[in-house]
Amino acid sequence: MAYDRNNIFARILRGEIPCKKVFEDSHVLAFHDINPQTPTHVLVIPRGEYESADDFAAKASDAEIAALLRAAGRIAREQGLAETGYRLLANHGRDAHQEVPHFHLHIFGGRDLGRMVAKPAG
């Protein structure tokens, strides 16, 4: 599947849609999630055109991969989460309910996050 240049995060990267920026460098942009699930909920995205975690892991350069993880750690620290704890999460594809087809890492924190993933309903 070809990368969709009109996805919402591509538009944020081009400055067509505003975001509440928390960090940027030459490889990475990070901003607050518009619908936060936790007191702190930040999205960390590569500037490059990668559709998903699978795409990013397979095709991004070592420098891009390192920059993203370093940025996530730095942001979590700066948001005061390193002491109390936080969760990094990347949804890939249908079973993970990925909504936006531009790879992103969620940083969740600011409250007890429970353990791992939700149990199936029923």
Give the residue numbers marked as catalytic.
Answer: 104
The tokens of 64 are what? 């891009």
Q: How far is the CB of 13 from ligand AMP (least distance, A)?
A: 11
Q: Are 50 and 61 in contact (CB under 8 A)?
A: no
Question: Does residue 53 touch ligand AMP according to CB under 6 A?
Answer: no
Residue with Cβ nearer ligand AMP (33 or 64)? 33
Question: Does residue 100 touch ligand AMP according to CB under 6 A?
Answer: yes
Q: Which residues of 30-56 are buried (b: 16+ CB within 10 A; e: fewer)?
A: bbebeeeebebbbbbbbbbbbbbbebb
Q: Which residues bind ligand AMP (CB under 6 A)?
A: 8, 17, 19, 33-35, 43, 91, 97-100
